Amino acid sequence: MKKSWIIYVIGIIAILTLIAYFWMGTRGITSLLHTLKVWIIWMIVIGLAVYGVWYFFIRKEKDDRVHLNAKKVIESALQYKTPFLRDLYLSGDKNHPQVRLGKIHGYTRIINAKGEQEDVFVFKHNSFPLSLFEEHKALRVNPDKHTSLIGDVIVEAISVMKYGGFYYINQDIADLQKIDQTIISEVKRTLMFDMLSDWKNVVDDALAISPEHQKELEKKDLLKIPTRQTSEEGR
């Protein structure tokens, strides 16, 4: 059976500690601990720097419609966040402890495919500075399933699951058909508006009313050289 990397690290540190002790006594152990602390700090700094470069400059955004639709809802929620909201919790029950999901960064209320109201809480689990490298997460829940929108918000659930770009509580995830209908309806609506936007550009080009197309026509008119017949007709 393969040993985990943690066991290997502990073994290496133990061997280095013994060597330092036999070589320099307690002073050697102190020096070793100081060196390890410096190495750990540098590893954390370098790791965060590498991850930051990847996250902000190399990482590619997903371009599927489900992800883009969830992103639009998250962006809308981030535009409005009452200052009274703090952290988001799961209530748990007698067999499950209360769980902190994270700090609330945004909130909005939407209407799902069945015409029902849903609250969307956008949150991040980690605290600063690790939160800088964490994507926003969105929990969709019925307004009757959480406490008032003041201070910490407690959702009546013991667990959540991510599905179609959003997180849902354990009671709602049991009704996958409802979630599927909601996601499909929202994606269809997004595709419809995208198609209408594309059609508008096509129609504008056909009617020569788009600014870009109009500029191209003006350039062609300026470059057009009058023919001899045109000149004689003008006399």
- The per-residue pLDDT for range 77-93, each reduced to its tens digit, is 998 777 889 999 999 99
pLDDT at 222 over 60: no
For position 197, what pLDDT does the model report?
A: 62
Tell me which long-range contacts 10-13 makes (C-beta under 8 A, separation of at least 24): none
Q: pLDDT tens, 36-77?
A: 888 888 888 887 778 777 666 676 666 667 778 888 899 999
Q: pLDDT tens, 174-220?
A: 777 778 878 777 777 767 766 766 665 666 666 555 566 566 656 66
Under a CB-based contact definition with an 8 Å cutoff, are residues 136 and 78 in contact?
A: yes
> How far, in Å, are 3, 10, 17, 73 from residue 14 at the CA level?
16, 6, 5, 51
Q: How far apart are CA 113 and CA 140, in angstroms?
A: 13
Strands 166-169 and 137-141: parallel
For position 153, what pLDDT does the model report?
A: 97
Q: How far apart are CA 120 and CA 31, in angstroms?
A: 52
For 104, phi then psi, to 5°, come to: -75, 125
Q: How large is the average pLDDT for residues 153-165?
A: 93
Q: Which residues share a beta bridge with 162? A: 167
Strands 166-169 and 160-163: antiparallel
Task: Provide the percentage of residues in the chain whose pLDDT is more than 70.
Answer: 74
Sorted by where each begins, the domain ranges of the chain are 5-58, 79-179, 182-215
pLDDT at 20 over 80: no
For residue 187 the two structure tokens come to 């994606």
For position 18, what pLDDT does the model report?
A: 78
For position 229, what pLDDT does the model report?
A: 52
Q: What is the mean pLDDT of the chain?
A: 79
pLDDT at 223 over 60: no
